[in-house]
A and B are shown apart, each in its own frame.
Chain A
Amino acid sequence: MKQLGDDDILLAAAFVDGDLPEPQRARFELRLAAEPDLAEHVEHLLQTDELVRRHTRREGADRRHSRLRLLPTLAVAAAAIAAIFAVRAFLVDERLSARSIDVALVPSFESALEWIARDPALAGQLPPGLDELRGANDPPNVDAHTFHEAVSRSESRAFGAATPAETTAAFFSLTARAPVASTVLVFGFPKEGAPLRYWPAIDDADASRIAAGDHVLPGASFRLVDDPRGARIEYQRGFLVPIGAERVDVVIASRPAVAAVDAALLEPASDVGTEVDRLRAAGFATVVFIVDEP
């Protein structure tokens, strides 16, 4: 097996760390598929990294401290999702109308560049963070804070946008404006395939409770990260529309967070109608969006 040069070492390590933005990642994967020596090095790197992770117990106290330190950043990021192509609906239920949340379904994309290109206010902008690997062909042309502000403006427009009930997307996010602390559940019912729970995530049932204010589920598409390395943007794609689903009926339910959620309610029902009925019986207001697979 040939030794790797410094450039390839850098690419290999960045690949293993999920640190290659999409254009570079695809180029590197093409090379991995064509260069057995390079592929073997990366295989070994992945295997050893996985082995060490399996046998490592992390320092939880330190990480919990980090979590608290980042909460303000999270709050800012949650308020900053771009939503110019959003569809929007109000959760209307007579019992809860005064406390219902305002929710919008926002189509999302495989890559950050696609997402940016779809918004005329953001088109062509490349903030730092989307070109993390040094030597990228396209250097940043806008600072992270400016980009983040532009995204925030898009979000405010989305909340006043028209509200078609059906849209086409491979990924999507939800923006939720909660006047009071609320419990939010999101389920998907693919035309082809079994029902699924989008929110809260499988390993984090407590996330169903959201504080009063603006939120993006499952997380902001573009996070502003500002640390000693400088401000930068990170991209997350959002919820996935399953391959082959053809279409997904997305049920969003909310109610004031006054009581714990029955564990049975966290498992999706067999179909949309049953789901909506049982959620309403449990005091939730519901709305259904249709997302067609591209």
Chain B
Amino acid sequence: MVSRPEIADAGYPVESAPSLTSAWEAARSGDAEARAGLARLAHEIALRELSARRAAPSEIEDLAQESVRSFLAYLGGSGEAPLEIRAFLKWRALGVLSDQRKRRRARAMEITHVDTLEPTVEGVGPIAAAVAEQVRGALADCRARLGADMREALALRYEGGLEVGEIADRLGVTRNAIHVRTFRALAALRECLVRKGIEPEDAP
């Protein structure tokens, strides 16, 4: 894990600026304080979002900093300004998290043991374990209700730990077909879980 340094010269009053948009414009015009202030905001939002997403604690700071880098790279380019800068920062952070999870899954095929990849719900207390077991049962039931093609894609994705391209190869379909199939399967799973009273965002 990297350290958590204060962002240098982060005192630009982004919060009290007429708007974040003006800070964005100032930063793009070369105002170092505005840039630093936005970087600080990006860092704060990334930490919050990554924690909420249960990113591994030892990696949150690394990811937050990567999010800031990613944001600053965009800010330094010529891409259009976001309409909602805070929301954009949130999605930058989540994009970095998705990217990192993909890298970790790919890396696992090379040098790490698969069981260390993602946080699990093992090792919790008895009550939490019972709730987790309840969620697992509901998940199993909901997955069983999916169509065969969706069940197969999810099994390869989760139990098989395969990447999208590998699943596509196994099933003899395109990569995009797997993306669409996964989306529809997870949407159906969510709907089923919610009907059972389980909100995925709140579940252990």
Residues of A at the B interface (CB closer than 8 Å) are 6, 9-10, 12-20, 25-30, 32-34, 39, 41, 43-60, 62-64, 66-67, 70-71, 74, 110-111, 114, 132, 134, 170-171, 188, 190, 192-196, 202-204, 207, 219, 227-229, 234, 236-237, 240, 242-246
Contact = CB atoms under 8 A, between A and B. Distances in A.
A60 B102 contact: no
B68 interface: yes
Nearest to B178: A13
16 contacts: A9-B184, A13-B183, A18-B95, A30-B80, A46-B94, A48-B190, A48-B200, A50-B53, A56-B158, A58-B115, A58-B159, A64-B114, A134-B175, A193-B4, A193-B5, A240-B62
Contacts of A219: 107
Interface residues of B, number: 88
B152 interface: no
B33 interface: no
B118 interface: yes
A219 B65 CA distance: 19
Given A60-B113, A60-B114, A246-B8, A47 B160 contact: no
Contact of B98 (A17, A192, A195, A229): A17
Contacts of A43: 201
Contacts of B147: none
A33 B190 contact: no
A169 B79 CA distance: 22
Interface string B72-103: 01100001101111011011101100111111
A9 B180 contact: yes
A36 to B, nearest CB: 9
B1 A196 contact: yes
A25 B95 contact: yes
Contacts of A14: 179
Contacts of B87: 32-34, 39
B179 A13 contact: yes
Interface of B: 1-8, 10, 39, 43, 53-54, 58, 62, 65-66, 68-70, 73-74, 79-80, 82-85, 87-88, 90-92, 94-95, 98-103, 106-121, 132, 135-136, 139, 154, 158-161, 163-166, 168-169, 175-176, 179-180, 182-184, 186-187, 189-190, 193, 200-201, 203-204
A56 B139 CA distance: 10
A112 B19 CA distance: 32
B110 A70 contact: yes
Contact of A55 (B88, B136, B169): B136
The 10 closest A-B pairs by CB, nearest first: A193-B5, A18-B102, A194-B3, A193-B3, A33-B87, A13-B179, A33-B88, A29-B91, A110-B73, A18-B98
